[in-house]
Amino acid sequence: MSKKIICLFDVDGTLTKPRLKIEPHVEKTLHEISKKQQLDLAVVGGSDLEKVKEQLGGNEVFKKFKYVFSENGLVAYKDGKQLPSESIQNFIGEDSLQDFINFCLRYISELKLPFKRGTFIEFRTGMINVSPVGRNCSHKERLQFYEYDKEHHVREKFIQALKKEFSDLALTYSIGGQISFDVFPIGWDKTYCLRHIDEYDEIHFFGDKTREGGNDYEIYESDLTVGHRVSGPEDTLKQLKVLCEVLDEKRPTILGKRSVPPAPGKMAHLVSTRPILASLAAVLISEASPSSNPPPKATPSIAAITGAGIVSTLVIKLRIISNRSRKSAPAENIFGTRLRIMSTRTFSSLRILSTASVNWATRFLLKAFLASGRLSPKTAIPLSLPSR
């Protein structure tokens, strides 16, 4: 029986450019891949439903995606039918809600920015969206404020003031997009939508704001997902294609004839028999310096040996392996967690694939193997680096 897999996408910065409509070729490629690989598709956005529909084709979005989650999943649709929802108003109460909104308006009134427009507070079903510059700004002004905020940290300072003033409320603050931040009860981040798709064996999440403080961070780091950090729609398609190559059992890959990696318990065998993983082992074992020291200059680059495409494929495989190990016995949890931290935080950030960066990632990978007891130094030390 084949595994049930779903690909879950953020909207802004992942499927579309910020606040713009999805481009036809992105939409076409997405659904061609879905049909070929028999993958279910879902979207999750922090915006309200109307904005999600506006960016993804109106009511057609319900036909194109099995699940549509707006407001982090507080408003949810499956096959075009709405699922039960929650309300932030009921959660914190009207009095606290008004106090919060009044404070925000006073704070914004005292801000001195290059420009201000309108719609500073947007009340949604499961959250409050706060925009210091105003959501009515033009696309050009949006970009200008985004650059201004990078330098002056307007949103970060605003959030710190709110945390201090409303420390008694169980609220989370998440910077998303370019001009605003979201406020919602703890636990009502994008991981909220996962309760609706728990029947899947693997949930692959694609998002751009995956750093701590970003509105994709919690779901990207969740034990229930395999996270993919992307830089835009084109990168999303690229990583999705790599994932499909991994899932396609008819194509040979670096882990052998099977494209879906075997269980974590077989990893030591793979490291000792497959040349690519053997090279990873050799790089780590040959390095005796502490992890805090930079890698030796003589250490070869795995990217140079294997090619960037193979490294990308390895990244996807590592994420799948680590996701599976987290769902296995408790004794394997440390292995899975450490491996996942390495693969998602380190490998996925290697856009330039420099020698130093790749070797840092290599060290973390093999240390996770060694710490898990699944790979012995005696097995790895004799292995030599293969030619390209």
* CA pair distance 189, 187, nearest whole angstrom: 6
Beta carbons within 10 angstroms of residue 32's beta carbon:
10
Neighbour tally for 298: CB within 10 Å:
7
- Alpha-carbon distance of 158 to 163, in angstroms, equals 9
- N-terminal to C-terminal alpha carbon distance within the chain: 36
Q: How many residues in the chain? A: 388
Residue 122 β-bridge partners: 129
337, 239, 187, 107: CA torsion to nearest 10: 120
- 10 part of the active site: yes
The answer to whether 12 is a known catalytic residue is yes
Tokens, residue 65: 């995606």
Instruction: Count other C-beta atoms under 10 Å from residue 82's C-beta.
Output: 11
Q: Calculate the CA 313 to chain-centre distance.
A: 17
Collapsing DSSP states into helix, strand and coil, what is residue 301?
coil
Residue 142 marked as a ligand binder: yes
Give the pair of three-digit tokens for residue 85: 């929802």
List the catalytic residue out of 12, 48, 149, 189.
Answer: 12
- Check whether 10 is labelled as a binding-site residue: yes
**12 annotated among ligand-binding-site residues:** yes
Tell whether residue 208 is among the known ligand binding residues.
Answer: yes
Is 124 labelled as part of a ligand binding site?
yes
- How far apart CA 149 and CA 155 sit, in angstroms, is 7
Confirm or deny that 225 is annotated as ligand binding.
yes
Among candidates 176, 80, 211, 71, which has minimal Cα distance to 127?
71
Catalytic residue among 10, 48, 149, 216: 10
The catalytic site residues sit at 10, 12
| Residues of the binding site | 10, 12, 19, 124, 135, 142, 180, 182, 208, 220, 225
| Residues of the binding site for Mg(2+) | 10, 12, 208, 220, 225
| Residues of the binding site for alpha-D-mannose 1-phosphate | 19, 124, 135, 142, 180, 182
